Amino acid sequence: MREIKFRAWDKRMMKMREVNALYLDVQMGMAPSDRAILVDLYETSSAYQVDRDVDLMQFTGLKDRNGKEIYEGDIIQRVNIKVPLLVRWNQKEARFDLAKDPDNFNAVVIWYTQLVEEDYEVIGNIYENPELMRGGKA
């Protein structure tokens, strides 16, 4: 079974952070369907609200050829092809996809786990390196 873990893009500090814990905040006086997810980040003592303060990204359960964990929001490329692909969650299909164009959900590449771990490497992420999806260099 794969490990369930997350990381978060801190919108205030403009920094990727490791997530310590997630909490459903049921004390905000909201209807159950409107419950906020709060994130406890390492290095801080305050709670952050998902979507307002942080963007939450889940670990895919895969590692690249160098042993680096692959998260939603990462940009990976095949070593010998050099085409950047964005790792994203596809809610409709309940799976992670690789997208050539982050704005087009139809531009999807299906991936196979053994190929990822042998032939792909993480070159950045969509928050710290958005230029990689526009043809920039790693």
118 φ/ψ angles, rounded to the nearest 5 degrees: -100, -40
Residue 33 placed within a domain: yes
Residue 37 placed within a domain: yes
Residue 67 placed within a domain: yes
| Average pLDDT of the residues of the chain | 80
Pick from 44, 132, 17, 121: which is nearest to 79 by CA?
121
Number of domains in the chain: 2
State pLDDT tens for residues 75-125.
999 888 888 999 998 888 888 888 888 777 666 666 666 666 778 999 999
Q: Give the separation between CA 48 and CA 71, rounded to whole angstroms.
A: 20
Pick from 83, 52, 56: which is nearest to 72 by CA?
56
Confidence of residue 25 (pLDDT cuts 50, 70, 90): low
Residue 1 placed within a domain: no
CB contact at 8 A, 23 and 47: yes
pTM, entire model: 0.81
Domain hosting 41: range is 6-55
Q: Are residues 112 and 96 in the same domain?
A: yes
Residue 39 placed within a domain: yes
User: Of 40, 55, 70, which marks where a domain is finished?
Assistant: 55
Q: Give the separation between CA 115 and CA 108, rounded to whole angstroms.
A: 16
